[in-house]
Amino acid sequence: MAAKIQQFDPPSSASSDSDNGGEQCLEDREVFISDELAEDIERYQRSNGTPTPQSPRPPSTGSQKSPRSRRQRTTSMTQSSKKTSAESILRSKTRTIYTAGRPPWYNSAGQQVEPFVIGICGGSASGKTTVAAKIIESLDVPWVTLLSMDSFYKVLNEKQHAMAAENEYNFDHPDAFDFELLAATLQRLKEGRKVEVPIYNFVTHCRENRTKTMYGANVIIFEGILTFYNADVLKMCDMKVFVDTDADVRLARRLRRDISQRGRDLEGVLKQYCTMVKPSFYYYIAPSMVHADIIVPRGGDNEVAIELIVQHVHTQLQLRGFKLREKLAHSYIGQPLPTSLYLLPDTPQIKGLHTFIRNKSTLRDEFIFYSKRLIRLVIEYALSLLPFKEITVETPQGVLYQGKRGATDKICGVSILRAGETMEQAVCDVCKDIRIGKILIQTNLHTGEPELYYLRLPKDIKDYKVILMDATVATGAAAMMAIRVLLDHDVAEDNILLVSLLMAESGVHSIAYAFPQVKIVTSALDPEINEKFYVLPGIGNFGDRYFGTEPSGED
C-alpha cells in the first residue's frame, strides 16, 4: 500500500494547521482533513488491502470501550485504487493527512447532479461494511460518501444508560435510532448540500459536541441494520442491497469479535444475542429483505454480486452526466457574449495596466503594483453593479441633494485561493470592515479536474451579496465549483458577483450558461485557452507571478 503513496505537495492552507487560530469573524469552516479520517486511513494502510477499518459493530455495552471511540465509520473517502489515491494521501512526520479535494458534484451546466444513493442493509455482523468498501474500491469514481446508521443512535437517558451497562438496552430495535434526523440528513446529502453528521459516543451514549461535516458526493453509500425500515429513507435509496449472511456465520463472527477483541464474556454476548439481536433480526431486518433490489449472499466474498452492482452504478452515473473540464473548454465557440458579462470600459489606462502585467519580463515589484491598480478598478466597477436606492441628503450648503446609497450593507468577499487572495486587499480598501471568506480549489494534476479542499465562509453567508474573486478564469471550472459551493450554502444566485482580472471567452460562456444570474465582471476577455488551460495571450500563472513561486528554470 505504501507504494501508492507519493509525496504530494499540499496547498499550505489545507495542511494540518487548520485547526487553530485565525478564527476572527469567520465561523463557518470546513477542512477536508480530519483526525478521524487520517486515522481511518492509517488503519486502512495497516490492514493492507482490506480497505475499510475493521470497525466494531454497535456494541451492546460501552463499558469495555476506551473513551476515544474508534468507530467513526461515517467518513467520506475516495476509492483507494490506481490513479486517484496516489495524490490523495500525504504522510507527514507524525500523522497521515488525507488531502483529496472534492471533485465536481455537478454537471457541465453547473446543475446539481443527483447523487446515486446505495442503501445497504443486513443483519449484525453480516459484512455490510465489507460490501460497501468493495463497492467503493471497484467504483471508479473519485468521491464517495459513506454514511453509517450508527451515527444516528438516540441519546440515552440515565436509566437506559444503566440498562446498556447490563446488556439490557436494545440497540437492535428501531426505537434506538433517530430516524427523523437520519432522513433529513440523507435528504440534504442527496440534494448535494452540506450536512453536519452527529458523532455518537458509545461510552457516554451521547452525541459529541463536534459533528462531522459531509457533502453529497457522486455516490452516497448508506449502510446499517435497519436501512430499509423507514419508508422515507427507503424512498431515497436508488439501489437497495441486502447482505444476507447465514445466521450461524453472523453469530460466530459476533462471538469472536466481542470476546476476543472486546474482552466480553460468553454469557453476556449470548444473552444479548438471544434476547435482542436475534429477535430484532427476525422481526425487523429479515422482513425488510423484500425491499431489496439485490440480495448478496455471503457478503463481501461475493465478487460476482459486487461486480454487478458496480456495473449498474456506472451506467447510472454516466446517464446523469459527470464530466467536466475538457467539456467546458470546448463548448460555445462562436456564441454571442452573455448578457451577464460586465466588461470594464476599454480605456487606455486599463490597456496600459494589462500591458505591464502581461509582459513576461515585468519585474515582480511592478507586476504587483500594476496588478493592484487594475484590481482596484475592477472592484470599484463591480461594486457599482450592486443594488442602490435613491436617497435625499442635506448638504452643509443648505440645499438638498438627490443621491444614491447602497441598498445593502451585507456584502462579503470570497476569494478563491490562491490567486483570488490578491484581490482581497482592494476589497478591504473600498468596503470598510468587509468579511472575507476563502475557498481553496486546486486542479488535480492527474485528472485535470478541479477539487475542493478548504472552505471558510461567513456564518450567515446566505444573507450576503457575495463578491467572488479569482484573478483569472480560464475554463471556469474552479469558478463554477466555487459558485456551486456558495449555492449549496444557500446564497441566492443573483447575489453572486464573480470578479476577475482576465477571463477566457469559453470560461465566461460556461459560467454564464450554468449560472445565468451570476454577474461576471472582468477587465479583459481573451479568446483562447491552451492545452494547459492557460488563457491566451494571457498573463501566465497569476498566483505564481504575484507571490513569486514560479518554478525555477522558467522565466
Partner 1 sequence: MGSGDTATVINKISSDSGNEIIEEYGPNLRVLPTNNQVKELQTILRDKNTTRSDFKFYADRLIRLVIEESLNQLPFSKCSVTTPTGAKYKGLKYQKGNCGVSIVRSGEAMEQGLRDCCRSIRIGKILVESDVDTHEAKVVYAKFPDDIAERKVLLMYPIMSTGNTVIKAIAVLKEHNVLEENIILSNLFCTPFAAKTLVTAFPKMKILSSEIHHVAPNHFGQKYFGCSYHGVTGPPNAPMKNV
- Interface residues with partner 1 (CB under 8 A)? 345, 347-349, 351-356, 358-361, 369-370, 373, 376-377, 380-381, 383-384, 386, 388, 391, 393-397, 399, 401, 403-406, 430, 432, 530, 534-541, 545, 555
Closer by beta carbon to partner 1, 8 or else 534: 534
The secondary structure of residue 227, as a DSSP letter, is T
Closer by beta carbon to partner 1, 288 or else 422: 422
Closer by beta carbon to partner 1, 159 or else 432: 432
Closer by beta carbon to partner 1, 496 or else 502: 502
All three cell numbers of 539, joined, read 498573463
Closer by beta carbon to partner 1, 131 or else 504: 504
Closer by beta carbon to partner 1, 319 or else 399: 399
The answer for residues whose C-beta is within 8 angstroms of residue 341's C-beta and 6 or more apart is 508, 512, 520, 522, 525
**Least Cβ distance, residue 331 to partner 1 (angstroms):** 22
Q: What is the DSSP string of 476-530?
A: SHHHHHHHHHHHHTT--GGGEEEEEEEEEHHHHHHHHHH-TTSEEEEEEEESEE-
**Least Cβ distance, residue 510 to partner 1 (angstroms):** 20
Closer by beta carbon to partner 1, 304 or else 393: 393
Packing angle between helix 128-138 and helix 303-320, nearest 10 degrees? 50
**Least Cβ distance, residue 357 to partner 1 (angstroms):** 9
Closer by beta carbon to partner 1, 205 or else 545: 545
CA 146 to CA 148: how far, in whole Å? 7
Please tell me the total number of residues recorded for the chain in this structure. Answer: 555
What is residue 142's three-state secondary structure? coil
**Least Cβ distance, residue 383 to partner 1 (angstroms):** 5
**Least Cβ distance, residue 403 to partner 1 (angstroms):** 3
**Least Cβ distance, residue 422 to partner 1 (angstroms):** 16
Q: What is the DSSP string of 323-369?
A: --HHHHHTS-TTPPPPTTEEEPP--HHHHHHHHHHH-TT--HHHHHH
User: Is the separation of the CB atoms in 173 and 276 below 8 Å?
Assistant: yes
CA 166 to CA 62: how far, in whole Å? 10
Cα 34 versus chain centre, distance: 13
Q: Phi first, then psi: give them for residue 309, nearest 5 degrees.
A: -60, -45
**Least Cβ distance, residue 35 to partner 1 (angstroms):** 40
**Least Cβ distance, residue 404 to partner 1 (angstroms):** 4
